[in-house]
Amino acid sequence: MMKFRFRRQGNDPQREKIKQELFAFNKTVEHGFPHQPSALTFDPQLQLMAIGTKSGAIKIYGSPGVEFTGLHRDTAVVSQIHFLQGQGRLLSLLDDNTLHLWELGGASRDRGGAKREGVVYLEEKRNYSVLGRPGLESCSVPEDYRCGKSLGPVESLQEHPQQPGKILIGYSRGLVVLWDLSTRNAEQMFLGKQQLESLVWERSGRSFVSSHSDGGYSLWAVASGNTYTHQPVSSSIPYGPFPCKAINKILWRTTQSGCPVVLYSGGMPRASYGDRHCVTIQQDKQHVTLDFTSRVIDFFTVHTTNLEHDYDDPSALVVLLEEELVVIDLLTTGWPSVPPPYLAPLHSSAITTSCHLDDVPAKLWDRLATAGNSQGTQHSWPICGGKNLAPTPKQQELLLTGHEDGTVRFWDVSAVAMTPLYKLSTANVFHTDCDPNDDPNNDPLDPTNDPEALQEEEWPPFRKVGCFDPYSDDPRLGIQKISLCKYSCRLVVAGTAGQVIVLGLSDERSDHTVDVSTVDLLQDREGFTWKGHDRLEPRTSPAPFPPGFQPLVVVQALPPASVTAVTLHAEWNLVAFGTSHGFGLFDYHRHTAVLARCTLHPNDSLAMEGPLSRVKSLKKSLRQSFRRIRKSRVSGKKRPVPTPTSKIQEANAALADQEEVAPVQRRIEPRSADDSLSGVVRCLCFADTYLRDGTHHGPTLWAGTNSGSVYAYALEVPGGSGCVEAVLGKEIQLMHRAPVVSICVLDGRGKPLPEPYQASLDLATAPDMTNPHSVLIASEEQLKVFSLPKVGAKTKFKLTAHEGCRVRRVATVTVCSTAQEDYSETSLVCLTNLGDLHLFNVPVLRPQVRYDCIRKEDISGIASCVFTKNGQGFYLISPSEYQRFSLSAKVITEPLCHYTNVLSCPHTSCPLLSSHLLSSHLLSSPVLTPPVLSPPVLSPPVLTPPVLIHSSGKALIWSWSPPLLL
């Protein structure tokens, strides 16, 4: 007995082995659109696309599921990237003038108890600091350019598509030189008079196109024997004769029809459209100006590169923008957009909340996919390189994101690619500012009312493209909370203006009026005046709703404060919601309000100002600050225990003083009852459990507030036409008054109760109703388990090992073993404001493992974290990217893929890079001074065509001999 009594926790070798088989922390994949992209390139042989960012990241994408990520050691802007075609290697140039060689490599990993072969990673092999100017001397430039001034930076380098040894070098002042690498001489000079922006070869190499700062472009003929060419074959200023912005980049693609496709960015008339971000596509009489909402970074076309073909025949245009990636189908009439299977901008409207569902039933999944397909035309994805080796997901997973513009987006997160599945908009339920649907004759589903079609007749022929829209017509539409029952297809979304919308899934379009009910949370209070925003005005006439989720009823909370908590029990047809003023219970089957409870403290005036009000009492803020300082000075003194007025308070007092505080925990600091926003409802929970006595169980509703209050109501849910009733059963006040983050009722085995319909449909083990239940209450300061129905204290854990530590997110997860197929454990996972994760056994609350997950400075990342039931999680690492992680040693979703290595393919034209940071002088007979650099050591060594990059004011010619600077 003594042996086991004094054994230290965590020293049991058998338990440590089990923990290793259950728990493992891995950051697995980054979903979404790369934040602040800065460079783009494409390998037409491997069909892989690479994006560089301002933070130094490089991300390579192929077919869905094929993703590779690399990160430079130093945080610097990736200014240029370039594939070594067909080799799985690329070069990156940073703005600190360093050059980096990357390589895709393979390895096997032990994941989830199994060895996975073929995993490919992106690894930096070498890096170089590019030296300065080598000191070139003589010049044979024409007299017109001998003005003592620099020719300006090298704006463009383009390798001859048929003769790799010849290069076009374009300088800012307009001079273009055809340089022969073998003879090291200028073969031909093209004397442009306008400032040069970019160059592109025509496929045959007999001509090239230059774009200029005046908004025009020119076609030049390349003919042997002509040393100097003064005039282009043709010139055009598409949007002139007015002053226009520069054409930053131009592409010229030949087709079998004989009419080339010309694509260019910029060129807009300065006075009228100087602030537009545009890419223009022209072919014969077809002319479209793609109008984007963010800046164009770069673009390329997917086209034939095989030299045996006589034409480019472009099939797609890929445009990288500052906030999204847009792909245009060039083979389909009208050049429509292609919906992306990944890289969709999660932040097309700012993300305000998220919700995850695992093991989605096939019927719901198929209906959502059908509704999503009806929202846009399906096209094949043109970037199809690599091979996805990951096994088919065992279950379908959904991530729902709520947005500032009142939309809810459904994402397929079953695998590596985060694919858009369906989008729901709630704006048409209400009248909003600048609402195009206010006209009852304007049906948004009628193609004749499509504003894009009406804009085609304008000049320039603008077409709005992309889905990134940072502006919201009405901030009150913002989605704050989401709850979805995957078995009944009932969805609840709640917003910023106190609106709670209950929706059902329909496969047909419907035109109907939505019923509206109001629930006044201040009905028993006097003297309170709401100073915040008004409620949204519901539509009184029938509105069109497309297939998908359609509104059944709108519940309007009064005052119209932001909804802070919501929960749905579809089996009982009940929805509960909470705000900063209280919580309500609504029967959406009978369209009747069941309960309205105010949680405001008499001094809680800040709650009446609303989230959009900027009025705040400075005097009150200072008073609260001084109060906290006084508390901290006496924190070490013994506090008198208040006189208990109920069994609940007695239990709390006994629990607080029953033993010495453990060394890894500190005492809880009590909070004032009149702290601002103390009435905010933080969590809600439905449960079938024992509340009135230990013999009869039934439906209950639990609510937790910011002031440490927990309200438990017993519900009467009749099966017929009777009304639902709610009776207060318990009211708990936590002594330390810390905000209640989560409430979870546990059955007789200490397991969380199943979701609605799970037990009745035999989709989960029925809960144990023979042994006593308990309730787990998690506050920002500690975790507590109380017995039911007497609410007696059973166990606790103060998660406050460090000053300032607060619990931010709590969830129960099921973690499966990698060694035993049928063994799993239910754990409680907590995320703190320090960004670390703690896992505990349930219900004994014994600490298991701790992981560092998010930087404590990343407040938005911590606030956005959401856990899955199978031990994974998501959090925002930028406004447009989710980081996915896993706490389970078995369930891991990460890239498992390979690329096709083509080393024996013939040389084809390389898309080359340009930079506006550099300057150089053109010399006809330069003195080549190789920098002291070692050639990269690669396996296997491969002779490749030279790669041309601009750096340090020169054209850097790179091959597997030391690079040369011109």
Q: Which residue has the higher pLDDT, 613 or 912?
A: 613
SS3 content of the chain, % helix, strand, coil (to 5): 10, 40, 50
- Output the pLDDT for position 467: 93
Strand order in the sheet with 565-569: 565-569, 574-578, 582-587, 592-598
- List the single range of 115-124, 326-335, 534-543 with lowest mean pLDDT: 115-124
Q: What is the pLDDT of residue 65?
A: 94
What are the strands of the beta sheet with 37-43, ordered from one edge? 37-43, 48-53, 57-61, 67-71
Task: State which amino acid sits at residue 204.
Answer: S
Q: Is 88 left (phi over 0), alpha (psi -120 to 50) or beta?
A: left
Residue type, 445: L
Say how far apart CA 340 and CA 380 lie, in whole Å: 9
- Residues near 781 by Cβ (< 8 Å), separated by ≥ 6? 668, 736, 738, 798, 799, 800, 806, 807
Q: Which of 212-226, 595-609, 844-858 is least confident?
A: 595-609
> How many angstroms separate the CA atoms of 429 and 546, rounded?
12
Q: What is the DSSP string of 835-896?
A: SEEEEEETTT--EEEEEE-S-TT-HHHHHT-EE-TTSEEEEEEETTEEEEEEEESS------
Q: What are phi and psi of 132, to 5 degrees?
A: -75, -165
Look-up of token digits 């980096």: 100
Which percentage of the chain shows pLDDT scores above 90? 65
Phi, psi torsion values for 606, nearest 5 degrees: -65, -30
Which long-range contacts does 18-23 make (Cβ < 8 Å, 24+ apart)? Answer: 18/817, 19/848, 19/849, 20/889, 21/113, 21/817, 21/818, 21/819, 21/820, 21/889, 22/815, 22/816, 22/817, 22/818, 22/825, 22/888, 22/889, 23/815, 23/839, 23/848, 23/849, 23/887, 23/888, 23/889
* Strand intervals (E) in 468-609: 479-485, 490-495, 499-506, 510-512, 515-520, 537-538, 543-545, 548-558, 565-569, 574-578, 582-587, 592-598
Residue-level pLDDT at 94: 93
One-letter amino acid for residue 478 of the chain: G
pLDDT per residue as tens digits for the range 564-583: 999 999 999 999 999 999 99
Rounded distance between C-alpha atoms, residue 750 and residue 755, angstroms: 15
- Integer-rounded Cα Rg, in Å, for the chain is 33
Asked whether residue 633 carries a pLDDT value surpassing 80, the answer given is no
Q: Reply yes or no on whether the pLDDT at 937 is more than 80.
A: no
pLDDT attached to residue 450: 52
Q: Quick one: tokens of 223?
A: 């003919």
53 versus 963: which is more confidently predicted? 53
Residue 305 CB coordination number (10 Å): 18
> Burial, 523: exposed, middle or buried (Cβ in 10 Å; 0-12, 13-18, 19+)?
exposed
Is residue 963 over pLDDT 90?
no
Q: Is the pLDDT of residue 661 over 90?
A: no
Structural contact between residues 53 and 37, judged by C-beta atoms closer than 8 angstroms: yes
* Structural contact between residues 416 and 29, judged by C-beta atoms closer than 8 angstroms: yes
Helix (H, G, I), strand (E, B) or coil at 373: helix
pLDDT tens-digit series, residues 103-143: 998 766 666 556 666 667 899 998 888 765 443 333 486 66
* Lowest pLDDT segment from 392-406, 802-816, 893-907: 893-907
d(CA 772, CA 776): 13
Q: What percent of the chain has pLDDT over 70?
A: 79
Q: Within 13 A of 77's CA, how many CA atoms are on the CB side?
A: 9
Q: What distances in angstroms separate CA 599 from CA 522, 681, 810, one per listed residue?
A: 9, 8, 23
pLDDT level of residue 434 (50, 70, 90 thresholds): low
Q: Indicate the helix (H) or strand (E) that contains 374.
A: none
Going by C-alpha positions, the residue among 79, 90, 77 that lies closest to residue 43 is 90
Phi, psi at 832, each rounded to 5°: -100, 175
What pTM does this model have? 0.86
What's the Cα-to-Cα distance from 662 to each of 13, 801, 807, 831, rounded to whole Å? 23, 10, 18, 21
pLDDT at 680 over 90: yes
Spatial CA neighbour of 783 closest among 872, 648, 660, 665: 665
Does 641 have pLDDT greater than 60? no
Q: What is the mean pLDDT of the chain?
A: 83
**Per-residue pLDDT at 379 exceeds 60:** yes
How far, in Å, CA of 701 to CA of 714, rounded? 7
In the predicted model, what is the mean pLDDT of residues 298-320?
93
User: Are the C-beta atoms of residues 582 and 604 closer than 8 Å to each other?
Assistant: no
Average pLDDT for residues 872-901, to the nearest whole number? 93
Please give the residue that has the higher pLDDT: either 391 or 660: 391
User: CB of 839 within 8 A of CB of 831?
Assistant: no
Q: How far apart are alpha carbons 13 and 18 in whole angstroms?
A: 9
Q: Are strands 698-705 and 574-578 parallel, antiparallel or unpaired?
A: unpaired
Q: Dump the DSSP string for 441-478.
A: T--TT-GGG-HHHHHTTSSS-EEE--------S-GGG-
Least confident of 347-361, 454-468, 666-680, 857-871: 666-680
Question: 159 vs 162, 406, 591, 908, 954, CA distance in Å?
Answer: 9, 49, 71, 10, 15
- Pick the most confident of 49-53, 146-150, 257-261: 49-53
Q: Are 146 and 938 in contact (CB under 8 A)?
A: no
Q: Which two tokens stand for residue 782?
A: 């500690």
pLDDT: which is higher, 889 or 664: 889
CATH number of 145-345: 2.130.10.10
Strand ranges in 340-449 using DSSP code E only, listed in sequence order: 351-357, 387-388, 398-403, 407-412, 419-425, 430-431
309 pLDDT more than 60: yes
What is the DSSP code string of 753-780? PPPTTTTTTTSSPPP--SSPPEEEEEES
pLDDT at 854 over 70: yes
Residue 65, classified by CB atoms within 10 Å of its CB into exposed (0-12), middle (13-18) or buried (19+), is: buried
Instruction: Give dist(CA 488, CA 760) in Å, integer.
Output: 12
Which residues are bridge partners to 504 per DSSP?
490, 550
* Cα separation, 730 vs 710, whole angstroms: 8
Decide: 712 and 705 in contact? Cβ < 8 Å.
no
Find the farthest-apart pair of alpha carbons in the chain and give their distance in angstroms, rounded: 105
Residue 779, φ and ψ in degrees, nearest 5: -105, 180
Query: 127 φ, ψ to 5°?
Result: -145, 150
Give me the mean pLDDT over the 282-303 stretch.
96
Task: Give pLDDT, residue 17.
Answer: 94
Please state which of the ranges 41-50, 452-461, 645-654, 768-777 shows the lowest mean pLDDT: 645-654
Q: Is it the case that residue 645 has pLDDT exceeding 70?
A: no
The three state secondary structure string of 315-353 is: CEEEEEECCCEEEEECCCCCCCECCCCCCCCCCCCCEEE
Q: How far apart are CA 435 and CA 744, in angstroms?
A: 42
Q: Give the Å distances, CA to CA, from 660 to 620, 665, 738, 798, 806.
A: 36, 10, 21, 12, 21
pLDDT for residue 622: 47
Q: 78 - beta bridge partners?
A: 94
Buried b (16+ CB within 10 A) or exposed e, 324-358: bbbbbbbeeeebbbbbbbbbbbbbbbebbbbbbbb
The reported pLDDT for the residue numbered 144 is: 62
Position 802 scores a pLDDT of: 55
Give CA 785 to chain center in angstroms: 35
pLDDT-based confidence at residue 71 (cuts at 50, 70, 90): very high
pLDDT tens column, 221-270 = 998 877 889 899 999 999 989 999 999 999 999 999 999 999 999 999 99
Cα dist from 478 to 121, 427, 485, 591, whole Å: 39, 10, 21, 24
| Mean predicted confidence (pLDDT) in 854-881 | 97
Mean pLDDT, rounded, for 948-963 = 52
**pLDDT tens readout for residues 348-369:** 999 999 999 999 999 999 999 9
Q: Which residue has the higher pLDDT, 904 or 110?
A: 110
Report the pLDDT value the prediction gives residue 943, as an integer from 0 to 100.
31
Q: What is the pLDDT of residues 738-791, one digit of tens each?
A: 999 999 999 999 999 999 999 999 999 999 999 999 999 999 999 999 999 999
Mean pLDDT, residues 850-860 taken together: 96
Distance, in Å, from the CA atom of 240 to the CA atom of 236, rounded to the nearest integer, reads 9
